[in-house]
Structure 1
């Protein structure tokens, strides 16, 4: 570059992009990664694709005044904020929270191997690495796409704060029908997140007499009633069976007192069903 980053930014009129994240002391690994992200990914991307933006990081603010006040002003006023969530830096997450509360556009980024907190993880973020030059180019391409989307007119900001506010508004303004639907959704979410709700394969490990059925999805008919086949060949015990499907496997849980010879009869009957490749006992 023939100009410093500061001079490049100073010469750019128009909209503002503010970058927050861990910066670290000069010479530290944190600073090295932060500089690679800022100077190797963010600045080149905006220079090439978003020339009307002035890109600023907290340590590049040259205006006189208290840095914390200027930082908050930038969080409020910037057209776009890029948050580097690497190292789950407390200051960066505090600043991200302020921006989220404003319901203004944010692009999230993080260094590879960073464990993102659960409440932020569902939101799209750009992974980057400074280990290879090609990886910087990939991060730059992803950043270009994210910025293009975030600055579109009418872009809807979605983050943990806006979601919480939306839920609160729904709770106070929903019709009885909407509230019933919301309650059903909330119950489904509780069931999905409940550690006591077992996956099909885990349920089978808990049961005593189980069969695993492998199917050929190109031949197997989805409307096939596996329960009917099991019940017909094991009238006493098969009527109590539970059936679960995971991809190309069907798991059948039978009562623990089902005789082994009856299990064999059920397995033989299942092998005659079109599309079933094989059947194994899993107990």
Structure 2
């Protein structure tokens, strides 16, 4: 994982301000680029961060969208408040409204600060001696403390107790981002058209859009949509490469790192996927999505070990998968993805009492999502209910929900494979316990027929 980004909010070039102790009102000419090069860059670098500032000031006083994105998405911000630049204070206000911590403020010690900033912890520096080691070391220390302690430095969050801006279920956030963030509609349309092409043409079409862009200049919404478009067509290696070439302030966001871990796992880079996801879990509070994706890594390790007759390895991976999915479901009971996987693996391991305890909660969570007016049902909602009914050995209700699943958009044959594989696992382990598997075999047969029909349709279009 790359170094965290520290975005710099400050003035540019040479500008004047009136020092607070000036007797004759004579202005000081401040070389902000010199301050950036000799004070800020070394201090940020010593904190093991990557300093980034905008290439130029906004034209006409209007901050362009990529600037907002850097202010909001960068893990850390260092703001130089010298000279009462209105743009600087506006950008700092945006940061404080969105991020409770990881913002550090500095100013030239002879510069006047507004009354409203008196409550902020702001470090003074000597504008005539910016390369002074002592102040550089202090700035570095403050940045490291911001990294390690996560103390609230935003007066908005300090004064408004319990402020929260997001209440969405973690596994929905990637689609929420794409659906609700307004960005270049021309590119969005091209990507939507690419995803709707016959399977054999989709990857090339997405590539064409991605290669036409200069990534560092693009809005975050565009980059997320390209990433999710590769995910939608199972182009895992392409998705990995695209994420690795994203601007660092976007690449290091939790959303993108979770998807990076997902793609690495699907590309069978299991250990690297675990490293990425465990890094996210080290910074609480981890989300149900992070645990859900990590649980899938252990689940895949379990099935691989089982298939090669590694009984001890399979038991170990199964135990880790159950623990991880449990943590994901406990992190947010509304997120049924880790919940259904937890129930399935508990059933596989023969923990029937736990299954009976948790399954009603998972089923309720799934049915509640289907009732929501703001979310359209998808294949996975109904596939979850199919699996739960198979576990309950209710053949007719499993068929009912499978019919509902088939009415939803199905983009790839692997969607059928995922459900088939889960039910086959149930059948295998129930057979080992001498339990009947009529329901499992019946539903697997229905799914295999539908998968074959889907493949025949898409094959004809591509020929």
Rg: which structure is higher? Answer: 1
TM-score range, shorter chain: 0.3 to 0.5
TM-score under structure 2 length normalisation: 0.29
Query: Higher relative contact order at CA 8 Å, sep ≥6: structure 1 or structure 2?
Result: 1
Write 1 or 2 for the structure with the bigger share of helix: 2
